Amino acid sequence: MVSNVFHGRKSAVSLSVVVIGGGLPGLAAAFSLQKAGHSVVLVAEIKGASSTSALHVPPNMVKILAEWGVVGKISEKAFVCNGIDFVNFESDELVAHVPFDPTLVEDSGSPFLFMTENELYDSLYDITKGAGVRILHETSAPVISRKEDHVTLADGTILPFDFLIGADGVDGIVRRFLISKERPQRRVPKSVYSSAFINGSKMRDDPELASLLDTETVHVWMGSSCSVYGFPLNGRENYTLEARITPVPEDGNVADLQNIPDESSPQSDRLKKLISLSSSFTSVCHTELEPLDAWSFPARDGHIVLLGNTAHSLLPGSTSHACLPFEDAQILGDLLSRLTSSSHECIELLLNAYSTLRIDRTHRMHTSEKVKAELMTLDDGITQYHRDRTLRAVARRMTPKLSLASLSIADGVFQQETDEEEEDGADIKNMMLELWNYDARDEVEEWWLRWVLPIQRSEGVRNRANSIGKMSPEHGLAGSPTKFTIVDVRQSVEVESW
């Protein structure tokens, strides 16, 4: 339930927060900080989802949405994925069927969902507005003051802030405001991501295609320079294709999968049929940016914080693309729900924790996603051969009860995976576990218990030993004014100062 966000804990001081960016990351940030007890204004360019693309919603993101109270509203039409079918891009032959181990799903406590961005946007917009966030729709980009901590809108409205949250993307005004011309960001085009939707009624007449609408797995066609993901959406009324093409074509874009470079063209009749039925193509040239050292920056009297793809270059269509901004929002809100003072020292501590926790996690996930993307587009040869054998090793590890049919078979002869391939298979499963089992709430709580609570306790004991009957809880060590007081709800204790 929404009332249980952060266990009902709210900051004792309400700070003024302005969020720039009305997409999913901006809504997530606004909702999280409002529930943390702050006063939030969201400045959005338009009302509506920023794209029509599909969302990969792994279990770690489902956990956050469940705590926020939106899972029930979006799960009816969401596609619940139970595994992956890896298929050869040219021959359409099944390389490996990797079911999701039921115990892995049970351990994570949530399913793996696919849905449209519009479906999630509408629900998230409603709960964000219902939480009390003031949402302003602006057609012109606001102006950030360099002399004072405020944002000026096109009509002259001034929005002062203690926190400015940049959730408007890598090319948005917040990042441009922070990254000066003296610190240019190196941009390296890596791949083209292109997506398209197919009306399911066009597939029902063809038994070969109709079966794709009724599947419980995602299909991944793996080629030497192009990979294509396919899965049903909208209550299986539609089907979507997501293609990643490497290297980047000379024009830097692909407007239509039917016009992809010849070396990436599929030979599979089934995939050709799907592409011929596709419409409404959306293409994005993915550019990798150099990572930032921190995601929070001091303003004149406030703070500027980056979140989602404003802070890091997300790989479009990847498993982590949608979930990382929600993790950012959950952790930032959780940390700032623990404030009982607006002192600079207290806020700096929590913002440093935000940068530390998110930069490390994001780096690992981006590395993982790049490895997975590269694995799907290996050139023909020995490397691709071992990739396929490794996937079969993963299938074996993910299948609770093995049968002869589930084992790796090539040319009718059983092929025993090598120890190295078995180890790689274990690594891939562990990579999935790291993504799925991640809990943003636990991450903050672990940091709190490891770094904050011991100091709180030691300082609190020293305070009590030295000042029983002499000093009120509003004073700190040696009688000095308290910098900040923080309440740990889990331990149900109030520590005097540290």
Residue type at position 375:
L
For position 172, which CATH number holds? 3.50.50.60
Q: Is residue 275 part of a domain?
A: no
Written in H, E and C, the secondary structure of the chain is CHHHHHHHCCCCCCCEEEEECCCHHHHHHHHHHHHCCCEEEEEECCCCCCCCCEEEECHHHHHHHHHHCCHHHHCCCCEEECEEEEEECCCCCEEEEEECCHHHHHHHCCCEEEEEHHHHHHHHHHHHHHCCCEEEECCCCCEECCCCCEEECCCCCEEECCEEEECCCCCCHHHHHHCCCCCCCCEEEEEEEEEEEEEHHHHHCCHHHHHHHCCCEEEEEECCCEEEEEEEECCCCEEEEEEEECCCCCCCCCCCHHHCCHHHCCCCHHHHHHHHHCEEEEEEEEEEECCCCCCEEECCCCEEEECHHHCCCCCCCCCCCCHHHHHHHHHHHHHHCCCCCCCHHHHHHHHHHHHHHHHHHHHHHHHHHHHHHHHCCCCCCHHHHHHHHHHHHHHHHHCCCCCHHHCCEECCEECCCCHHHHHHHHHHHHHHHHHHCCCHHHHHHHHHHHHHHHHHHHHHHHHHHHHCCCCCCCECHHHCECCCCCEECCCCEECCCC
Q: Which of 274, 266, 275, 119 shows the shortest CA–CA distance to 212?
A: 274
Q: Which of 76, 74, 75, 98 shows the shortest CA–CA distance to 86?
A: 98
**Distance (Å, rounded) from C-alpha 80 to C-alpha 72?**
13
Q: Is residue 344 part of a domain?
A: yes
The number of distinct structural domains making up the chain is 1
Q: Is residue 161 part of a domain?
A: yes
**Distance (Å, rounded) from C-alpha 259 to C-alpha 256?**
5
Q: Is residue 59 part of a domain?
A: no
**Distance (Å, rounded) from C-alpha 34 to C-alpha 394?**
42
Q: The tokens of 343 are what?
A: 């002192």
Asked if residue 99 lies in contact with residue 399, where contact means CB atoms within 8 angstroms, the answer is: yes
Asked if residue 317 lies in contact with residue 190, where contact means CB atoms within 8 angstroms, the answer is: no
- Say whether the peptide bond before residue 160 is cis (omega within 30 degrees of 0): no
Q: How large is the greatest C-alpha to C-alpha distance in the chain, in angstroms?
A: 85
**Distance (Å, rounded) from C-alpha 484 to C-alpha 482?**
6
Residue type at position 484:
F
**Distance (Å, rounded) from C-alpha 75 to C-alpha 78?**
5
Q: Is residue 483 part of a domain?
A: no
Q: Is residue 159 part of a domain?
A: yes
Q: Which of 259, 194, 265, 256 shows the shortest CA–CA distance to 230?
A: 194
Q: Is 136 exposed, middle or buried (0-12, 13-18, 19+ CB in 10 A)?
A: middle
Across the strands, what pairs with 131?
none
Q: Is residue 304 part of a domain?
A: yes
**Distance (Å, rounded) from C-alpha 408 to C-alpha 283?**
36
Residue type at position 73:
K
Q: The tokens of 289 are what?
A: 């940016």
Asked if residue 284 lies in contact with residue 221, where contact means CB atoms within 8 angstroms, the answer is: no
C-alpha distance from residue 223 to each of 32, 42, 64, 369 (Å): 41, 42, 34, 17
Q: Which domain holds residue 335?
A: 9-49+113-187+289-375+435-443
Q: Calculate the dihedral angle through the C-alpha atoms of 147, 187, 51, 46, rounding to the nearest 10 degrees.
A: 20
**Distance (Å, rounded) from C-alpha 356 to C-alpha 294?**
8
Rg (CA), the chain: 25
Q: Is 430 exposed, middle or buried (0-12, 13-18, 19+ CB in 10 A)?
A: exposed
Number of Cβ within a 10 Å radius of residue 171: 10
Q: Is 13 exposed, middle or buried (0-12, 13-18, 19+ CB in 10 A)?
A: middle
Q: Is residue 412 part of a domain?
A: no
* Rounded average pLDDT per 10-residue block, the chain, 498 residues: 78 96 96 98 81 85 92 85 93 92 72 91 95 92 89 94 94 86 57 86 93 95 90 94 78 55 64 84 75 89 93 86 95 94 90 94 89 89 91 79 40 47 62 78 92 74 47 31 37 31
C-alpha distance from residue 491 to each of 231, 277, 281, 364 (Å): 45, 58, 52, 31
